[in-house]
A = this chain, B = another copy of it.
Amino acid sequence: MSALRLAMIGFGTVGQGFAQILADRGVELQTRYGLEVRIVAVADLQRGSVHDPAGLDPRRLLEAVKGGGSLDATTAPERGWDALETIARADADVVAELAFTDLTSGEPALTHVRAALERGLHVITTNKGPVALAWTELDRIAAQHGVRLEAEGTVMSGTPALHLGTELLAGAGVQRIEGILNGTTNYMLGRMEAGASFESALAEAQAEGYAEADPSGDVEGIDAAGKVVILANRVMGAQLRMSDVKREGITRLTPDDLAAARADGERLKLIGRIERDGSTVRASVAPRRIREDHPLAGVSGAMNAVAYTTELLGEVTLTGPGAGRLATGYALTLDLLAIHRSRGGRS
């Protein structure tokens, strides 16, 4: 089988993690799955861009950007293409969309994904923006062009929460999905259980590198709501929008609320929930009390988890990391393998 030719839009932490995996595990991917990946283009707003149909060595790309260096210093037939020119002209089969996330407009990623699919290229992405805001439209464009949009890394990074739901549990009749989908707030709630105020828990999360300078996306439940929409639409075939998710963050919680739950033998967690109710699907993100024996009760620190309630199996829960450079890079590897299988490759 011919190599899968990859164009990467964005070469920050996630893109570099992915390149690292392709460098370290390229031989294994080929031996185990018959999958040969050839990076033909990289375009990054800050780090420059290169295109070479003969293939770019991931080690050399990583070397080039080390310590603030630019891809423009690399030898390649074409340099300086921006994202859209790369998507339009690269000699590629797959575009990896790894630009920055915007959960309001979805841009610029939404335009990138749409352009790639309309050109008949597969898309893999870790970017919640386009997938949470426009899944239905994008999935239709992908189907029209006979290509796939894969987005494992948008939920729980490389922990295969989406593939578990779509490939391994879909046939079991998924009735409900509950998850701890945001590591920052789960870490903060753990600190607040230990007595910290909301403010100091947030400061600790920022010091640990979990929370961003503007933490509103995490603490107001917006990030979790994006993941809830993606799970509902990907796994349950719903057509939810962000505005369909009833959302409440953790900003009004106090250490007393957490202590009160504990005193009742319960835990207070920020839970994303999706429930099938006849032909409709309801979704919410809210702090909820759950019993100590609930499968999500023991999920601590920055870990994430998703619990699928199915007709045939009852509850099946997957716990794993929700972030990380290599973990998120691995999500893209899983997406590439899914595309490889759809082209008739080994599984």
Contact = CB atoms under 8 A, between A and B. Distances in A.
Contacts of A295: 298, 319
A338 B171 CA distance: 13
Nearest to A337: B171
Given A316-B320, A321-B314, A25 B160 contact: no
A158 B313 contact: yes
Contact of A171 (B32, B300, B314): B32
Interface in A141-162: 157-160
A184 to B, nearest CB: 18
Interface string A166-202: 0111111100000000000000000000000000000
A238 interface: no
Contact of A21 (B32, B170, B300, B312): B312
Contact of A164 (B21, B32, B168): B168
Given A164-B164, A312-B327, A347 B337 contact: no
Contact of A293 (B172, B300, B338, B347): B300
A298 B297 contact: yes
A342 B169 CA distance: 18
B314 A347 contact: no
Interface string A55-71: 00000000000000000
A16 interface: no
A116 B312 CA distance: 28
Contacts of A326: 312-313
A163 B168 contact: yes
A246 interface: no
Interface stretch (A101-109, A227-235, A328-336): A328-336
Quick one: copies of this chain in the complex? 2
A334 B159 contact: no
A77 interface: no
A250 interface: no
Contacts of A342: 347
A294 to B, nearest CB: 9
Contacts of A21: 312
A160 B171 contact: no
B320 A319 contact: no
A191 to B, nearest CB: 15
Nearest to A158: B313
Contacts of A313: 157-159, 320-321, 324, 326-327, 330
A60 to B, nearest CB: 22
A314 B330 contact: no
Contacts of A329: 312
Contacts of A330: 171-172, 312-313
Contact of A327 (B164, B168, B297, B314): B314
A157 B312 CA distance: 11
Given A298-B298, A338-B347, A32 B170 contact: yes
A341 interface: yes
